[in-house]
């Protein structure tokens, strides 16, 4: 008779410890709480403010000067753009890419800042991004007051980015699941096109969708890559070679 009683007691005393551990673990890891419906609710307790300040200080030291870009990157919570299951594997504010699943990465903060700075994006300009990935680069562009359309070839990443951008206060960013080689004609022509995956050649449809006096930046090359800046002037394209970089390849869609 006494044995079952003992067991019940033991279970009751272990349960609160389990609940406690479950409750503190999201706080400890800074990943937010998992709600009853499985949706992540972001915890405000660990907001990485200090880490963001350090990241921005490093960008300054690396030569990024544009105050609006630095302010945007100080404000935007980069960690929430990295899907929760990948956040612990990578320092979200370190100056390196982090995995976001499906073999893809969120770009290194310096490269995001550098490409954005080189494009001199102005408020109200129409910007097309190819390779939405996590949505972080799109958020930086939106924070500058540009109108963003972004195309992503992995459906799950497009869905994730759409949701995080909305949740983080950028509901006007248009995200399309599709093949970036086709651009996004619906909102063309664009003042700026930023490609964040590497094609072997400049996609011709992107040149077509660039405005007169528009500019485009892309990592070009199959094996070794270089950032290339294109400017459309009098319907002609001027090309400037820039930094050597390493991006994931721009893959071709099935149709
Ligand atoms: N800008 C992203 C990083 C992108 S990584 C960010 O801020 O997180 C490059 C992305 O390009 C990947 O998500 C990859 O799936 C996508 N991609 C590759 N080929 C593509 C294509 N043809 N069209 C659209 N997206 C493509």
DSSP string, 123-143: TT-EEEEE--TTSHHHHHHHH
Residue 64 vs residue 5, higher pLDDT = 64
Q: Is 26 in the pocket of ligand 1 (CB under 6 A)?
A: no
Q: Is 116 in the pocket of ligand 1 (CB under 6 A)?
A: no
DSSP 168-179: TT-TT-EEEES-
* Dist. CA 224–CA 195, nearest whole Å: 16
Q: Is 150 in the pocket of ligand 1 (CB under 6 A)?
A: no
DSSP annotation of 104 reads: E
CA angle 245, 54, 116 (to 5 degrees): 40
Q: Is 206 in the pocket of ligand 1 (CB under 6 A)?
A: no
How far does residue 82's CA lie from ligand 1's centre (Å)?
14
Nearest Cα residue to atom 20 of ligand 1: 250
How far does residue 157's CA lie from ligand 1's centre (Å)?
9
Given a contact cutoff of 8 angstroms between Cβ atoms, the answer to whether 167 and 113 are in contact is no
- Measured from the CA of 137, which atom of ligand 1 is nearest? 7
How far does residue 146's CA lie from ligand 1's centre (Å)?
20
Strand partners, 192: 127, 215
3-state DSSP assignment of residue 105: strand
Confidence bin at 46 (pLDDT 50/70/90): confident
31 pLDDT higher than 50: no
Alpha helices in the chain (DSSP H): 2-29, 49-61, 67-75, 78-81, 84-87, 109-119, 136-143, 155-167, 204-208
* Dist. CA 161–CA 135, nearest whole Å: 5
Which residue out of 129, 131, 159, 227 has the highest number of ligand 1 atoms within 8 Å of its CB and is therefore the one to mutate? 131
* Dist. CA 18–CA 55, nearest whole Å: 36
- Measured from the CA of 129, which atom of ligand 1 is nearest? 1
Give the chain's domains with CATH numbers.
7-247 (3.40.50.150)
* Dist. CA 217–CA 239, nearest whole Å: 10
The predicted-structure confidence for 231-254, as pLDDT tens digits, reads as follows: 999 989 999 999 999 999 999 987
| Total-model pTM | 0.85
Q: Is 197 in the pocket of ligand 1 (CB under 6 A)?
A: yes
- Quick one: pLDDT at residue 8? 34
Given a contact cutoff of 8 angstroms between Cβ atoms, the answer to whether 49 and 67 are in contact is no
The predicted-structure confidence for 82-120, as pLDDT tens digits, reads as follows: 999 999 899 999 999 999 999 999 999 999 999 999 999
Lowest mean pLDDT among 11-25, 41-55, 174-188: 11-25
The predicted-structure confidence for 211-237, as pLDDT tens digits, reads as follows: 999 999 999 998 899 999 999 999 899
CA angle 197, 159, 206 (to 5 degrees): 35
Whole-number percent of the chain with pLDDT over 70: 82
- Measured from the CA of 194, which atom of ligand 1 is nearest? 1
Average predicted confidence (pLDDT) for the chain:
86
The predicted-structure confidence for 125-142, as pLDDT tens digits, reads as follows: 999 999 999 999 999 999
- Quick one: pLDDT at residue 255? 62
* Dist. CA 139–CA 149, nearest whole Å: 11
- Quick one: pLDDT at residue 17? 46
Q: Is 158 in the pocket of ligand 1 (CB under 6 A)?
A: no
């Amino acid at each position: 008779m006494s044995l079952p009683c003992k067991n019940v007691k033991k279970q009751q005393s272990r349960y609160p410890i389990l609940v406690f551990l479950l409750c503190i673990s999201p706080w400890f890891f800074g990943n937010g709480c998992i709600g009853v419906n499985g949706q992540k609710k972001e915890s405000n307790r660990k907001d990485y403010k200090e880490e963001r300040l350090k990241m921005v200080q490093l960008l300054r030291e690396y030569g990024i000067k544009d105050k609006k870009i630095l302010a945007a990157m100080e404000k935007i919570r980069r960690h929430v753009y990295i899907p929760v299951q990948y956040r612990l594997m990578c320092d979200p504010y370190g100056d390196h890419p982090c995995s976001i699943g499906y073999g893809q990465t969120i770009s290194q903060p310096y490269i995001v800042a550098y490409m954005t700075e080189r494009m001199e994006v102005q408020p109200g300009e129409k910007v097309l991004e190819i390779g939405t990935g996590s949505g972080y680069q799109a958020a930086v562009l939106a924070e500058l007051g540009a109108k963003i359309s972004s195309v992503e070839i992995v459906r799950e990443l497009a869905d994730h980015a759409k949701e995080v951008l909305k949740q983080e206060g950028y509901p006007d960013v248009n995200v399309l699941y599709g093949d970036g080689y086709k651009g996004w004609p619906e909102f063309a022509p664009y003042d700026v096109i930023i490609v964040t995956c590497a094609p072997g050649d400049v996609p011709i449809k992107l040149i077509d969708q660039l405005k007169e006096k528009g500019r485009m930046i892309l990592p070009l090359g199959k094996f070794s890559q270089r950032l290339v800046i294109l400017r459309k002037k009098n319907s002609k394209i001027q090309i400037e070679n820039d930094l050597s970089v390493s991006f994931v390849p721009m893959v071709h869609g099935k149709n």
